[in-house]
Amino acid sequence: MDAIRLRGGNRFSGVIPIAGAKNAALPLMAASLLTDEPLRLANLPGVADIASMKNLLVTHGVAVANGEAAGEASFDASGVRDTTAPYDLVRRMRASVLVLGPLVARFGRARVSLPGGCAIGTRPIDLHLEALRRLGAEIDLVDGYVEARAPRRLAGADFTFPSVSVGATENALMAACLARGESVLRNAAREPEIVDLGRCLIAMGATIEGLGTDVLSIQGTDRLRGARHRVIADRIEAGTYAIAASMAGGDVTLEGANPETLRALLDTLAGSGVEIAENGDRLRVVSPGGNTAGMDLVTQPYPGFPTDLQAQIMSLTTVASGASRITETIFENRFMHVPELLRMGADIRVRGATALIRGVSRLKGAEVMATDLRASVSLILAGLVAEGETVVNRIYHLDRGYESIEAKLAACGADIERIAAPA
């Protein structure tokens, strides 16, 4: 297992190209199951989760062909013969459950393993199943698998999500596109990745209104066609590097970022003394480094402060001037980075879903352990400013969602390298 070694203290300046959004690409790839014509995607990020989803689609019988340019691939589901998503694949990547809606909508059946929990929480899929049941699917749980059937095609429904769920909204949105009649999905998630999925579905012939709002109206159709679609930029990658520049100090331009999708973070950083300049899809972050002002924030569904940037912003607060409070409302166990940050000399106290952080003048490098994707990157950020050397182990978590992170950071002056983990 690889590790990443950093030596902290360098200022951070340069240009970072932002990759396509992992959390948009995954549902977009699943959407290829909705049609028997090729779906061509561009700007797919080179991260492990994309490879995992390609692998799952291939087991279903989707013909996946990489395009000429990096990040391009076509997905042809005309030959799908197997509607089972096996436990061994689903347990490795929860987003595999996004094949459930498309499979049952197009083929009238699906057998998808329950994903099981992960480091940040139990992460049930009851909202996915409730939405599909309202669309007419018969659903049983058998031997750890969801067995879904729609012998007479799905039927449009008016459904209100009891709580906001990105994945459940995506599964229901995709399924409703092939249901008979109109569907209305209320209390739907509004993340930019869902808007991107909706735009692609419309290009495939779907009729969808309300993208970007919490009420989605879908007019079902008998079939969808192939399309070409470019994945939006990854707002979480961009936000991660904006926080890195804010911590280390420097002048960084994020190329391809869409500031509109990062409003909550950018307002938070500006409020703590970081200079932000927006110029189309170039986002410039200038910071004196360290002693940014403390903050009090609560993670919320979009457009609130994203839970996927919570661990990263907490790293920033560990070296901010003064006290900060961070409340995590989306996942029940998303403070796994705290024990590792404490080992680097951070001053953090967790009370239930709230962490109280007092800024320290300097973190100390240490050997630390990654536990999940965003926790691992928060340790990288801490290592950028810590005194001495930091080694982050189990960085396979990192490779799931960050493309070439050490190359991008080194290009901005970070003293960072990937090493074979000490035996």
* Position among 165, 246, 317, 393 found at the interface with ligand EPZ (CB under 6 A): 165
- Which residues participate in catalysis according to the annotation? 118
Give the pair of three-digit tokens for residue 130. Answer: 């409730």
Please identify, using beta-carbon distances, which residue of 124 and 271 lies nearer to ligand EPZ: 124
Ranges assigned E (strand) in 62-166: 63-66, 73-76, 84-85, 109-113, 138-142, 145-149, 158-160
CA 406 to chain centre: 19
To the nearest whole angstrom, how small is the minimum distance from the Cβ of residue 92 to ligand EPZ? 13
Give the binding range for ligand EPZ (CB under 6 A) out of 31-39, 69-77, 78-86, 159-167. Answer: 159-167
* Position among 90, 114, 166, 242 found at the interface with ligand EPZ (CB under 6 A): 166
User: Quick one: which of 237, 241, 258 has its CA closest to 250?
Assistant: 241
Give the binding range for ligand EPZ (CB under 6 A) out of 82-90, 163-171, 174-182, 380-388. Answer: 163-171
Give the binding range for ligand EPZ (CB under 6 A) out of 57-65, 118-126, 213-221, 276-284. Answer: 118-126
Residue list 3-32, contact with ligand EPZ (CB under 6 A): 23, 26
**14-17-23-24 Cα dihedral, nearest 10 degrees:** 140
The residue count for binding ligand EPZ (CB under 6 A) is: 23
To the nearest whole angstrom, how small is the minimum distance from the Cβ of residue 94 to ligand EPZ? 6
Residue 351 burial (C-beta neighbours within 10 Å; 0-12, 13-18, 19+) = exposed
Q: Checking phi first, is residue 290 left (phi over 0); if not, alpha (psi -120 to 50) or beta?
A: left
Residue 116 in contact with ligand EPZ, rule: CB under 6 A: no
Residues 6+ apart with CB under 8 A from 391: 3, 4, 5, 6, 366, 367, 368, 419, 422
**Residue whose pair of structure tokens reads 């307002």 in the numeric block:** 267
To the nearest whole angstrom, how small is the minimum distance from the Cβ of residue 246 to ligand EPZ? 20
- Sign of the C-alpha dihedral, residues 38, 39, 42, 48? negative
Residue 162 in contact with ligand EPZ, rule: CB under 6 A: no
Please identify, using beta-carbon distances, which residue of 117 and 288 lies nearer to ligand EPZ: 117
Residue 128 in contact with ligand EPZ, rule: CB under 6 A: yes
Question: What's the CA gap between 391 and 217, in Å, rounded?
Answer: 49
* Position among 79, 116, 121, 271 found at the interface with ligand EPZ (CB under 6 A): 121
Please identify, using beta-carbon distances, which residue of 120 and 248 lies nearer to ligand EPZ: 120
To the nearest whole angstrom, how small is the minimum distance from the Cβ of residue 169 to ligand EPZ? 8
* Position among 78, 116, 126, 144 found at the interface with ligand EPZ (CB under 6 A): 126
- For residue 249, CA distances in Å to 158, 215, 242 come to 50, 41, 10
To the nearest whole angstrom, how small is the minimum distance from the Cβ of residue 373 to ligand EPZ? 5
Residue list 329-388, contact with ligand EPZ (CB under 6 A): 330-331, 373-374
**Residue whose pair of structure tokens reads 């139990």 in the numeric block:** 122
DSSP one-letter code for 388: S
DSSP string, 2-20: EEEEEE----EEEEEE--B
H-helix or E-strand spanning residue 174: helix 166-177
Residue list 394-413, contact with ligand EPZ (CB under 6 A): 401
Binding mask 185-224 for ligand EPZ (x = CB under 6 A): ----x-----------------------------------
Binding site for ligand EPZ (CB under 6 A): 23, 26, 94-95, 121, 123-128, 165-168, 189, 307-308, 330-331, 373-374, 401
